[in-house]
Each structure stands twice: as structure tokens, then as C-alpha cells.
Structure 1
Amino acid sequence: MPQRLDRRRVLRPLTSAGLVLTLCAAAATTSHAQPQREDVQFWSTVTLTASSTHWDFRGDVNSGLTDDASRAGRLLLRGILSYHITEKLSAGGGYTYFSINDGIGSRFKEHRLVEEISYRSSQHSDHTRLTLRMRVEQRIPEKGDQVATRLRQFTRIDLPIRSDGLKTIAWNEMFYSVNATNWSSRSGFSTMFNFVGVGVPLRPGLSAELGYLNQTNFRPGRNGVRHIAQATLLVTL
């Protein structure tokens, strides 16, 4: 017989995770007192993963509410196909579409070619797991002819709380711009993401990750900071 979903086991961790999102939402009440280089946002992501013996496909749809979570300001669509070199090491590539609305009638659109190599210390969700990924992007604006190359180093740790898949999650991603163009940031370190949250199993093949994401944009003078409540739904086929 199919396993029935134990609502109490799901709702308890969701309630705890909700406290993280509540703190992020509460920050919006003070955001007007912050400098213009700070913002409170809400991002939602749906991730679909399909695997075979040697291949993995991952698709991401990410949308964001920006300007104190008051309007739809960003959209990201990404597809990555990876090949398992060993049980723990994989390499692949794909494509990303990115669009951002500045709120004053202008929308910037970008196409990215992606190559990456990843290491995962364990394939079991109930084990402590370290994930490392180096991603290279060739960023091509929809209006413009200069290509910006960027490196992204991703480090993530999963710490299990229960054997059913409930876990704490922390990750960091550093962005390094290899070259400067007339539309992108200067060369050097440009952005850093830091995330802390929880992973919540919902049913076989379906889970959620809820937490706080901090985005820091390195700029001359005062850095730009975004405080983001992030919710991700993960579907595994």
C-alpha cells in the first residue's frame, strides 16, 4: 500500500522553518530606513531533477519579488545536463535565461552559456553531505555585443536532523568576473551569496528548502545588500 503522508511530521518542521521566513518578512518594516543599496526580497524556485545511470538533468525556474517584495522584478530559467564521471564527480553544461526589471520601465535580458564540474561527498540524503561546484558562465546581453565571463564557486553542507530527510542547510557562492565590459561589473569579485535554512521532506520525490539568503554586491564605497526570504520546491523524477 502507498505510504500515507504524516501531516504532523511535516507541519512541525515547516512551522520552525516559517520562523526564518517571518524574520525576513519583518525586516521589510524597517527597510525604508535603510540606504538605497539595501533591499528586502522574496524568491521562489521550482527545481526539477531527472536521473539515469550516468546522466542527470536539472531544471530551475526562479522568480523574485524585489523593492521590499512589492513587485515582480526578476526571472531566471536554467537547464543543466551533467554526466557522472565517478559516483561523486560530475561535469556538464547548459543554458540560462535571466531577466530583471528595474521598476522604471526598463527590462534587462541576458543569455548565459554554462559549464560546470561538481563534487558531492555522498548520494544519501540522510548522511552529512558536502557539495562543491565550479561553474563558468559566458554572459551575453540581449542588447549588446560584449561577452562577460564569470566564475562561480559554490560550497554547501547538508546536516541531517532526522533519518526521514529533515536537515539543516548552509551554503555559500562566490562570483568572480573575469573581464569587464561596457554593461557588466568590473573584473574581480562581484557578488557573494550566503544561505541558511532547512530542508523539509514532503513525500517521496518532493521536498522543500526554506530559509534566509543574503546577497552582497561588491561595489566601490558601500556594498549593496539584499535580504531575501527564499523558498524552493524540489521535484525528483
Structure 2
Amino acid sequence: MYRLLSVCLLSCTTIVAPAAAQTSHDEALWVNGTVMGRVQGPVVFFAEVQPRVGDGVSRLSQLLLRPAVGVELSKHVTVYQGYAHVIDPVENGPDRRENRLFQQVTWNVGKIGRLEVQSRTRLEERWRSDGNGMALRARQMMRFEYPLAPDARRVAALASVEGFVGLKSADWGGVNGFDQVRTFIGVEVPLAGASTVEAGYLNQTRDAPGRRVDMVHAASLSLFIRL
């Protein structure tokens, strides 16, 4: 398991290594609160709120509100249609706002020994308040979970890697091609019922204008309430 996680993290490092000399760094705190459950039959939902504190953990840099409704096609595959509203606070001016529609496929791939593997594929249509046009972006995340005890309700080691690729830009921005990669390593701790909390380190490495790279080092804390 540790060899597999090392390969994933090494692959992400290799992608951004050539631009290391032109990399800017920031420290942040990303918090995620998610409520999820079943509506009726195979219909499910989730709703997220995600405040992100950046600039050396000194101010709110972004707030995401993201609900979605999905259908379980099987016990392994669920498809979702969702909406996200993103607020970027701007000093001395109106906040920048982004509206997104997104389609998502979550696939519980299965187990490799005790290692649990999950895939999440997401397509986003994006509109922003500071310009015209729609940008299109694809995201692919692989998540790896390794239980640290044999019990059904146990602490688990977590790792994930998510790549972002721009498929279409707009006049306000967006990219064509590689956008960013996020990697996470941490632990999952069970709470009451089926709820969990996840805590760890998240790295966001993003292309920036002028052949620069912006890197965020974030303490990540996520609460998942399962109804």
C-alpha cells in the first residue's frame, strides 16, 4: 500500500518539478462540511460548504456552496448532477462569483488486499461574474483508503490525487490543457453513526500566468455527516 501511495505522490511531484524555480507558496486552511443521504430508492444527495482561508491563513480567500442529486446505478456506481456557487472575496471591490453546473460519476472500484480504491470523475461548466463565456473543465480523482484496524468502524489512512484539465477557456479566463493537481494524505476517523471526519495535508499545484506555478500547502479538515 505504501509503495502505491508513494508512486502517486511521486508522479504529481514529477509533473510540477520543472517549474520549481518559479513556484510561489502559500499556507492555507481548507474546511469542508458535507451532508449526504438518501432521498428515496436509488436517489441520493449531498450538499457541501467549503470555506478556504489563505494568504498565510489570514483571510477568507474562497467559499464554495455545492449541492447535488444523484442516482445509484449499482452498489458501485453513482451518477450526479450538481451546482456550485463559488465566492472569491476581493478587497476594495465587489466579490468575484462563479456559477458551475457539474456532472459526476463516483465509482467504488474495489479492493487490492485491504486497500480500498475509489474513482471520482467530474465535468464542470463554469461562468464567472467578471467576464463572458463558459469555460469547461474535467477533473479526475483517485482515492485510496487503508484501514488501520480490522473493525468495521476504524481509523483509516487516506491518500488521494486529483488532476484538473481545461477543455475550453472563456474571455474571463480558464485554461486549455493542464490546470492543476491536488494531492492529499491524512486519516479518516469514525464518528457517531456512519459519519466521519478526515484530517491531513493537502497540496494544490496550479499553473499560473508567465510560466509560473502557484502552490498551496493546506491543513485540510472535512466533516461528512451521513444521514
Work out whether the TM-score is over 0.5: yes
Alignment partner of 1:111 out of 83, 99, 102: 99
Alignment-mate amino acid for residue 157 of structure 1:
F
Instruction: Check the 8 A contact 1:48/1:234 in 2, yes or no.
Output: yes
Q: How many residues align?
A: 201
CA distance in 2, matches of 1:206, 1:186: 37
Q: CA deviation at 1:221?
A: 2.4
CA distance in 2, matches of 1:136, 1:35: 30
CA distance in 1, matches of 2:139, 2:146: 23
- Larger strand proportion, structure 1 or 2? 2
Change (3 A) 1:166 1:53: farther
Q: CA deviation at 1:103?
A: 4.2
Q: Please, which runs of 5 or more residues in structure 2 have no aligned partner?
A: 1-20
Alignment-mate amino acid for residue 139 of structure 1:
R
Change (3 A) 1:233 1:153: same
Change (3 A) 1:191 1:36: closer
Q: CA deviation at 1:101?
A: 2.0
CA distance in 2, matches of 1:129, 1:232: 19
CA distance in 2, matches of 1:38, 1:196: 19
Alignment correspondent of 1:60: 48
Instruction: Check the 8 A contact 2:197/2:223 in 1, yes or no.
Output: yes
Q: Tell me whether 1:185 sits opposite 2:168 in the alignment.
A: no
**The residue matched to 2:211 in structure 1 has which SS?**
coil
Alignment correspondent of 1:19: none
Q: CA deviation at 1:107?
A: 2.2
1:31-73 per-residue CA deviation (whole Å, 9 max, x = no partner) reads xxx9882110001110101125412211110001110000111
Q: CA deviation at 1:203?
A: 1.8
CA distance in 2, matches of 1:184, 1:38: 22
1:165-188 per-residue CA deviation (whole Å, 9 max, x = no partner) reads 210111111111111222123310
Instruction: Check the 8 A contact 2:105/2:120 in 1, yes or no.
Output: yes
Q: Tell me whether 1:41 sits opposite 2:28 in the alignment.
A: yes
**The residue matched to 2:131 in structure 1 has which SS?**
coil
Alignment-mate amino acid for residue 43 of structure 1:
W
State the TM-score, normalizing by the size of structure 1.
0.79
Alignment of 1:10-89 (within 5 A): 37-51=24-38, 52-89=40-77
Q: Tell me whether 1:197 sits opposite 2:169 in the alignment.
A: no
CA distance in 1, matches of 2:129, 2:154: 41
Report the identity percentage. Answer: 26
Instruction: Check the 8 A contact 2:132/2:170 in 1, yes or no.
Output: no
CA distance in 2, matches of 1:145, 1:183: 6
Q: CA deviation at 1:82?
A: 1.2
Q: Tell me whether 1:99 sits opposite 2:83 in the alignment.
A: no
Change (3 A) 1:104 1:216: farther
Q: Please, which runs of 5 or more residues in structure 1 have no aligned partner?
A: 1-33
Alignment correspondent of 1:221: 211
Q: Deviation above 6 Å: which 4+ runs of structure 1?
A: none
Instruction: Check the 8 A contact 2:23/2:215 in 1, yes or no.
Output: no
State the TM-score, normalizing by the size of structure 2.
0.82
1:170-209 per-residue CA deviation (whole Å, 9 max, x = no partner) reads 1111111111222123310101110000001122133210
CA RMSD of aligned residues (A): 2.0
Alignment-mate amino acid for residue 202 of structure 1:
L
